[in-house]
Amino acid sequence: MSVPRKSSAKPEVRSFGFWDSEYGAAQAAAASRDFAELRVGALGLLWIEFCPQTSRCTLWHWRAGRAQCLTPADFSLRSRVYEYGGGAFCLTDQGIAFVNEADQQIYLQALDGQPQRLTDRVDSRFGDLCFAARQQAVLAVEERQAEGRVEHRLVSFSLDDGSRRVMVEGADFYAGPTLSEDGERLAWIEWNRPEQPWTATRLFLAERDGQGGWLPAQVVAGNAGAESLQQPRFGVDGRLFCLSDRHGWWQPWAEQQGQWLPVGCVAAADHAAAPWQLGACSYLPLVDDGMLLSRFVQGWGELVERCADGTERPLAEAFSRFRALVADAENFYCITAAPERLPAILAIDRFDGSVQVLAGGEQALPDAQLARPQPLSFASAGEQAHAFFYKPTNAGYRGPEGDKPPLLIFLHGGPTSACYPAFDPRIQFWTQRGFAVADLNYRGSSGFGRAYRQRLQGQWGVIEVEDALALVAHLAERGLIDPVRAFIRGASAGGYTTMCALAFHNVFRGGASLYGVSDPLALRRVTHKFEADYLDWLIGDPERDAERYRARTPLYHAERISAPLIFFQGGLDAVVLPQQTEAMVAALQQRGVPVEYHCYADERHGFRQSAHLAETLELEWRFYQRLLG
């Protein structure tokens, strides 16, 4: 463990990468607490909280000025539909309906009662829950294992007796079931293979037939393809809204005078992240044609209230990411992040804009110890790429005169995802120890428009590696880092890019792969339905483009890797199987490349246990220290 330094008025001179800090790996792991899925209604305000110490997701209720946990010790709220889940609870007239992590069934719980099981379908998972008040039922996306196939449909379950009714079926995937306030209109998103939810989806609308059933559904948008739609919503007047990237950005569109049109005077910016999970809410229609909007501007999150005349009122400007928007008569509520504080639940007064932190929001490090994100745009292969740069920051130390710090590049997963300018305890762990960190939003990341996101098509293993190399050169040119002491690390898809960078280029001194993909074809054979065609989009058809796969598979080019690597793997990982990582480790060991391998028997794809999160940070740091000499 790191050793706290004795206090001194003058910073001690010590080599970058070897600074001590009281902010240890255990503190960084404990700071990975997060929130999800706000809901507000007659029952009050509720949210899900993830605790790294227990690896549980629990339901919290804000009442009388304080938050109270409602979840018994043997329950955890988490959906596994599409493996990434989301929409794990909703509010009903009879309490809270939620998905229990262990058995993936829906339970009903009164505020002062114990959960009662609503569904009993052991072959199915559920997510994206929505309450249908008129039917007194819960709508959900159902994922069912049936005779070797995985089927998805929209279903409803009666709160009275748990009886199931199929609402919509026939497509490969569904998301976002939502009802108008009067229960007369039902909207949803669907898409078919080989599309992903961020490439091409369709918005459907069904209306009541007056006899308790539904008229045939109509396609509102997305019929022509090449349009990604997400988050359908009904306004208080019954009009349908949805985010569409038809004009290059995820922006709100709506029914207007019998037509489907973009909402006027909305910024050319993404108003949502890539929909890896169900149940997101990044905008809200308000009364009198107003809207509550979150968006990304050069990767930085903004929250605004848009008035009917098109003017905007900025809200909560100290924060840099906004999720899970809800509202009542007095407040807007959201889950937020900021560069200097942990995730928080905010209440924002709708009249004067004042902000109250209801939960979270602690500052884990004092101002003098905080490394803050500096947005970067830099040239890469004739285009622009984006990143956030963090300088080494520790009030107790400075580097030797004329020395430049080592660089650690962070690669996000997905790979169609993004990094954000928010307090990341892992990044602060590294900057406290004298590393510069660059969090890379390579071409293909979300939050910068459809064209930027689509640049990854057919280019995975090439284009994001180019961006990582260009980022090292850009930072070196500005005198911010030592380019011969650059490291690269990533989890899952980021691990794949790490290995590609080390196999095909001689820029990085070493790297770390956390459950990274070393053999894309092996991943394709075992991956789940949601991502079954993703690799074909990212690289190509495995038969037609077999040579392309071979050229971009790190396992096949292990002989070209000379830089040391440290691997972390979950023993229960069903996405990147342990055998895949172990084959890569063995190939490198056979050639005498310095390798470390750490497998955690009870972790899956994405570590969740606090002790393991802390240990991996500590081991990775010690690994790089040895390489720094």
- The pLDDT of residue 428: 97
pLDDT in tens, 499-514: 999 999 999 999 999 9
* Residue 232: inside a domain: no
Q: What is this structure's pTM?
A: 0.95
Task: Over range 447-474, report the average pLDDT.
Answer: 98
* Residue 461: inside a domain: yes
Token output for 54: 């227990």
Instruction: Tell me the residue type at 42.
Output: A
Closest CA to 21 of 2, 43, 44, 42: 2
* Residue 372: inside a domain: yes
Tell me which H or E stretch contains 349: strand 341-349
Q: How far, in Å, CA of 350 to CA of 329, rounded?
A: 8
pLDDT in tens, 136-156: 999 999 999 988 899 999 999
Closest CA to 397 of 66, 129, 6, 78: 6
- What single string gives the DSSP state of each residue in 146-204? ETTEEEEEEEEEETTT--EEEEE-SSSEEEEEEE-TTS-EEEEEEE-TT--TTT--EEE
Residue 473 CB burial class (10 angstroms; 0-12, 13-18, ≥19): middle
At how many degrees (to 10) do helices 610-628 and 425-432 cross?
Answer: 30
pLDDT in tens, 375-400: 999 999 999 999 999 999 999 999 99
Which residues, at least 6 apart from 347, have a Cβ–Cβ distance to it below 8 Å? 45, 331, 332, 333, 355, 356, 358
Q: How far, in Å, CA of 474 to CA of 440, rounded?
A: 13
At how many degrees (to 10) do helices 463-477 and 493-504 cross?
Answer: 70
- The pLDDT of residue 100: 98
Cα angle 564, 557, 542 (rounded to 5 degrees) comes to: 135
Question: β-strands 44-51, 56-63: how paired?
Answer: antiparallel
Residue with tokens 């392309």: 548
- 6 falls in which pLDDT band (50, 70, 90)? very low
Q: How far, in Å, CA of 529 to CA of 143, rounded?
A: 10
- 31 falls in which pLDDT band (50, 70, 90)? confident
Tell me which H or E stretch contains 100: none
Q: What is the CATH number of the domain that holds 608?
A: 3.40.50.1820
Task: Over range 83-99, report the average pLDDT.
Answer: 97
In 10 A of CB 544, how many CB atoms?
9
Residue with tokens 């906004």: 322
* Residue 341: inside a domain: no
Tell me which H or E stretch contains 586: helix 578-590
Q: What are phi and psi of 299, to 5 degrees?
A: 85, -10
Distance of CA 504 to the CA centre of its chain: 28
Task: Over range 600-629, report the average pLDDT.
Answer: 94
Contact 124, 144 (CB under 8 A): yes
- 20 falls in which pLDDT band (50, 70, 90)? very high
Q: How far, in Å, CA of 570 to CA of 567, rounded?
A: 10
Token output for 277: 């999970």
* Residue 576: inside a domain: yes
- The pLDDT of residue 18: 97
Task: Over range 572-589, report the average pLDDT.
Answer: 93
Q: How far, in Å, CA of 96 to CA of 100, rounded?
A: 12
Q: How far, in Å, CA of 204 to CA of 188, rounded?
A: 5
Question: β-strands 595-600, 116-117: how paired?
Answer: unpaired
Question: β-strands 95-99, 185-191: how paired?
Answer: unpaired
Residue with tokens 């605004």: 304
Q: How far, in Å, CA of 575 to CA of 609, rounded?
A: 18
* Beta bridge partner(s), residue 215: none
For residue 109, give the 3-state DSSP assignment: strand
- 3 falls in which pLDDT band (50, 70, 90)? very low
- The pLDDT of residue 32: 79
pLDDT at 9 over 70: no
DSSP state of 516: -
Contact 53, 438 (CB under 8 A): no
Q: What is the domain range of residue 544?
A: 365-628
Task: Over range 554-566, report the average pLDDT.
Answer: 96
Q: How many angstroms separate the most distant Cα atoms in the chain?
A: 81
CB under 8 Å, gap of 24 or more: what pairs does 584-591 form? 584/499, 584/518, 584/519, 584/554, 584/555, 584/558, 587/555, 587/558, 587/559, 588/558, 588/561, 591/558, 591/559, 591/561
DSSP state of 557: G
Mean pLDDT score of the chain:
95
Q: Domain count of the chain?
A: 1
* Residue 615: inside a domain: yes
Task: Over range 129-139, report the average pLDDT.
Answer: 96
Question: β-strands 89-92, 95-99: how paired?
Answer: antiparallel
Which residues, at least 6 apart from 553, have a Cβ–Cβ distance to it below 8 Å? 518, 519, 520, 521
* Residue 606: inside a domain: yes
pLDDT in tens, 271-289: 999 999 999 999 999 998 8
- 7 falls in which pLDDT band (50, 70, 90)? very low
pLDDT at 54 over 60: yes
- What single string gives the DSSP state of each residue in 199-260? T--EEEEEEB-SSSSBPPPEEEE-TTSS--EEEEEE-TTS-EEEEE-TTSS-EEEEEETTEE
- 213 falls in which pLDDT band (50, 70, 90)? confident
- The pLDDT of residue 629: 85
Instruction: Tell me the residue type at 33.
Output: R
pLDDT in tens, 502-546: 999 999 999 999 999 999 999 998 889 999 999 999 999 999 999
* Residue 598: inside a domain: yes
pLDDT at 2 over 60: no
pLDDT in tens, 323-336: 999 999 999 999 99
